[in-house]
């Protein structure tokens, strides 16, 4: 018997809605269906995968798809745990079209088998954002207070902050509600600016949803254990426990979570001071890591968060408990790197303040960290003056003579002023069309150096994305979706053509996990098992894999990547290659060949390197090979 995915299409202009059904097989999940809907409508979609509500750990991710205002292309962003409550609506996806005449809350509720309740409720967004805890937190509080009583079970709320109105990279956030109480464990669909999209294009500032529908989710543990025993000689729970070690606690490093494990292992590969660490000697980088991170930033984290066992999950029962907390502050590697060492912040108190302020305003944390560190360097080098961007003072932006606590706090407070200035569009800071466009304008007015210190992937005419915080060329690969892990970010050297091919493979694997709504922290079993699970449950494992390949080729057919536009971006690649040879003593012929080329003709070498990666991507992501 055929199965169907149900999409609730809501016209936010009028509040009219309808359900449309799509056969499983024609489409398999929130990504390929989202891509299809995006190709035919101006829409923002969010929904769950076929395994939502099942016993598979990590299967309740809420997946957002749509045209990203900052990337200028199709984008996928996902949020942990938010799919568990969504599943109680008895639908697979919501697709927003149209635009509400005033900023509004979308209310979705469904009691047992009754028809879904849909309301669009206007609110005075500016005054809500400036009340109580401010920004997204105030909005979540307000919606919870106003509407949560209407639900039999705990609902969940999605919300955007002022960044969604003022910039093209506003995120969407949510916190689990447990026993009628909001928790502090915020979860984010951060990358891609889909919060800006939801507010600016559809007039929706928040969504509250929940219900009591119980559908036939796969919950047969005995059968699942058999599949896992056949493959791994371990039951599902045991395999999952093993696969998620890094995110829970890794005894090898005496710490856990992305913050703990990454900061323990980065050493000389860590970026700091807006990537300027790339130009330092290895000894200096190591000294920064040892003195500022191991002996302080990481030590604080280990003492407060790990020893204190302050760890939570995203809203679904999950043994990874990857949400590493200190009170109300959640610690992930990338926000605490991009708004940490990259901004000259090496102290938890200072980083908590800065990251919390950015979160409260609803920014994509990684991108805003990249923007702040860029502005800090511009101030430090006198390329911009404090009055140009409506702030007071200059950063402490060198490791020499740096006072960990005092200077970190100084930089964090300066960063907070910058964040407010971005929202208020003070001085030259207008991010309504993004950082790349602003950098281009500033370069015309004040010289190329301003632009050249910003690191981003460029896409189409104005698309931009601050890369993931790893020193490796993969984070700047010319892929159709960047800023997530749809590329290879290992730090070994791969010849560029090979890097393109491997990135294409990663693209398909990550797609496989997103399209079934699984959390990538479970990828150590999920990548292998998903097609087999789809085969066992729907008899369509092969079709699932074929569909992934076609979906990847369709996304890649709109790959409008643009060659690296700034000197700092090129330097990220060049210095990576140099470090491989000079520090890691790698003597691979290809590596030496590329380094010689870079040293002879940097411009031509970087263009050729970029094109080789591009070739590897394009020769791999094809419908027909």
Residue 249 CB, shortest distance to ligand SF4, in Å, is: 13
Contact flag: residue 256 with ligand SF4 (CB under 6 A): no
Residue 159 phi, psi dihedral angles, 5° rounding: -150, 155
Q: Would you mind telling me the total number of residues written for the chain in this entry?
A: 625
Residue 99 CB, shortest distance to ligand SF4, in Å, is: 31
Asked if 120 contacts 15 with a C-beta cutoff of 8 angstroms, the reply is yes
Residue 293 CB, shortest distance to ligand SF4, in Å, is: 23
Contact flag: residue 519 with ligand SF4 (CB under 6 A): yes
Q: What is the 3-state composition of the chain as percent helix, strand, coil, each rounded to the nearest 5?
A: 50, 15, 35
Q: Judged by CB under 6 A, which of 67, 464, 507, 521 binds ligand SF4? A: 521
When the beta carbons of 245 and 608 are compared against ligand SF4, the nearer one is 245
Residue 434 phi, psi dihedral angles, 5° rounding: 95, 170
When the beta carbons of 41 and 524 are compared against ligand SF4, the nearer one is 524
Residue ranges in 205-234 that form contacts with ligand SF4 under rule CB under 6 A: none
Residue ranges in 59-98 that form contacts with ligand SF4 under rule CB under 6 A: 80-81
Contact flag: residue 240 with ligand SF4 (CB under 6 A): no
Residue 241 CB, shortest distance to ligand SF4, in Å, is: 12
CB atoms within 10 A of CB 22: 18
Residue 144 CB, shortest distance to ligand SF4, in Å, is: 21
Q: CB burial class (10 A; 0-12, 13-18, 19+) of residue 23? A: exposed
Extract long-range pairs of 485-488: CB within 8 Å, 24+ residues apart: 485/510, 485/520, 486/510, 486/511
Nearest in space to 419 (alpha carbons), one of 465, 464, 359: 359
Residue 316 CB, shortest distance to ligand SF4, in Å, is: 6
Residue 187 tokens read as 């979860």
Each residue 8-47 as x (binds ligand SF4 by CB under 6 A) or -, in order, gives ----------------------------------------
d(CA 58, CA 45): 20
Residue ranges in 288-327 that form contacts with ligand SF4 under rule CB under 6 A: 313-314, 316, 318, 320, 322
When the beta carbons of 245 and 300 are compared against ligand SF4, the nearer one is 245
Residue 121 phi, psi dihedral angles, 5° rounding: -115, 115
Residue 73 phi, psi dihedral angles, 5° rounding: -160, 180
Contact flag: residue 268 with ligand SF4 (CB under 6 A): no
Residue 588 CB, shortest distance to ligand SF4, in Å, is: 35
Residue reference for tokens 């605490």: 336
d(CA 339, CA 5): 40
Residue 515 CB, shortest distance to ligand SF4, in Å, is: 16
Beta-bridged to residue 250, according to DSSP, are 255
Each residue 367-386 as x (binds ligand SF4 by CB under 6 A) or -, in order, gives --------------------
β 17-23/4-11 pair status: antiparallel
**What is the full DSSP assignment across 94-158?**
EEEES--SS-EEEEEEE-TTSPPEEEEEE--HHHHHTSTT-HHHHHHHHHHHHHGGG-SS--EEE
When the beta carbons of 471 and 521 are compared against ligand SF4, the nearer one is 521
d(CA 143, CA 610): 47
Residue 429 CB, shortest distance to ligand SF4, in Å, is: 33
Q: Judged by CB under 6 A, which of 74, 201, 247, 576 binds ligand SF4? A: 247
**Angle, in degrees to the nearest 10, between helices 541-556 and 496-515:** 120
Q: CB burial class (10 A; 0-12, 13-18, 19+) of residue 200? A: buried
Residue 320 CB, shortest distance to ligand SF4, in Å, is: 4
Q: Measure CA 329 to chain center.
A: 18
Q: Judged by CB under 6 A, which of 58, 135, 211, 335 binds ligand SF4? A: 58
When the beta carbons of 256 and 474 are compared against ligand SF4, the nearer one is 256
Residue 54 CB, shortest distance to ligand SF4, in Å, is: 13
Size of the site for ligand SF4 (CB under 6 A): 12
Residues lying near ligand SF4 in the complex (CB under 6 A): 58, 80-81, 247, 313-314, 316, 318, 320, 322, 519, 521
């Amino acid at each position: 018997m055929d199965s169907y995915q149900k999409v609730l299409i809501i016209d936010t202009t009028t509040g009219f809605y309808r359900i449309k059904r799509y056969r499983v097989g024609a489409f398999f999940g929130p990504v390929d269906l989202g891509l299809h809907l995006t190709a035919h409508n101006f829409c923002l979609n969010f929904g769950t995968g076929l395994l939502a509500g099942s016993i598979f750990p990590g299967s309740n991710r809420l997946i957002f798809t749509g045209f990203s205002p900052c990337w200028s292309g199709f984008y996928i962003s996902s949020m942990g745990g938010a799919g568990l409550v969504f599943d109680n609506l008895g639908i697979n996806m919501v697709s927003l079209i149209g635009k509400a005449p005033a900023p509004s809350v979308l209310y979705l509720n469904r009691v047992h088998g009754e028809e879904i309740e849909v309301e669009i409720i206007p609110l005075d967004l500016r005054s809500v954002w400036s009340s109580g805890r401010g920004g997204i937190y105030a909005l979540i509080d307000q919606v919870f207070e106003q509407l949560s009583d209407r639900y039999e079970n705990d609902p969940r709320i999605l919300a955007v902050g002022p960044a969604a109105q003022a910039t093209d990279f506003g995120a969407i956030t949510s916190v689990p509600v447990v026993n009628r109480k909001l928790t502090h464990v915020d979860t984010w669909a951060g990358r891609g600016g889909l919060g800006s999209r939801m507010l600016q294009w559809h007039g929706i500032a928040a969504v509250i949803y929940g219900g009591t529908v119980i559908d036939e989710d796969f919950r047969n543990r005995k059968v699942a254990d058999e599949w896992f025993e056949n493959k791994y000689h371990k039951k599902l729970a045991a395999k999952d426990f093993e696969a998620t070690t890094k995110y829970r606690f890794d005894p090898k490093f005496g710490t856990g979570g992305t913050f703990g494990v990454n900061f323990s292992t980065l050493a000389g590969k860590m970026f700091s001071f807006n990537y300027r660490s790339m130009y330092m000697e290895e000894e200096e980088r190591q000294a920064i890591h040892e003195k500022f991170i191991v002996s302080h930033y990481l030590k604080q984290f280990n003492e407060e968060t790990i020893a204190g066992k302050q760890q939570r999950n995203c809203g679904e029962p999950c043994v990874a408990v990857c949400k590493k907390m200190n009170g109300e502050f959640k610690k992930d590697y990338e926000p605490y790197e991009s708004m940490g060492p990259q901004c000259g912040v090496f102290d938890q108190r200072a980083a908590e303040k800065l990251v919390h302020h950015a979160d409260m305003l609803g920014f994509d944390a990684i991108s805003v960290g990249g923007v702040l560190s860029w502005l800090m360097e511009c101030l430090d080098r006198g390329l911009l003056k404090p009055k140009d961007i409506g702030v007071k003072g200059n950063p402490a932006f060198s490791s020499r003579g740096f006072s960990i606590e005092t200077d970190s706090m100084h930089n964090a407070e300066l960063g907070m002023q910058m964040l407010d200035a971005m929202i208020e569009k003070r001085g030259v800071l207008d991010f309504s069309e993004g950082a790349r466009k602003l950098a281009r304008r500033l370069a015309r007015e004040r010289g190329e150096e301003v632009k050249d210190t910003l690191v981003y992937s460029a896409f189409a005419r104005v698309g931009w994305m601050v890369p993931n915080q790893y020193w490796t060329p993969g984070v700047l690969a010319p892929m159709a979706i960047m800023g997530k892990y749809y590329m290879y970010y290992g730090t070994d050297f791969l010849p560029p053509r090979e890097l393109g091919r491997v990135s294409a493979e990663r693209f398909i694997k990550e797609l496989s996990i997103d399209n079934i709504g699984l959390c990538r922290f479970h990828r150590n079993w999920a990548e292998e098992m998903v097609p087999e699970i789809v085969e066992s449950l729907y008899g369509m494992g092969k079709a699932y894999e074929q569909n992934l390949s076609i979906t990847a080729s369709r996304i890649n057919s709109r790959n409008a990547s643009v060659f690296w536009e700034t000197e700092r971006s090129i330097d990220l690649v060049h210095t990576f290659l140099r470090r491989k040879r000079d520090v890691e003593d790698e003597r691979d012929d290809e590596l030496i060949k590329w380094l010689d080329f870079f040293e002879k003709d940097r411009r031509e070498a970087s263009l050729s390197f970029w094109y080789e990666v591009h070739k590897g991507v394009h020769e791999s992501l094809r419908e027909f090979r």
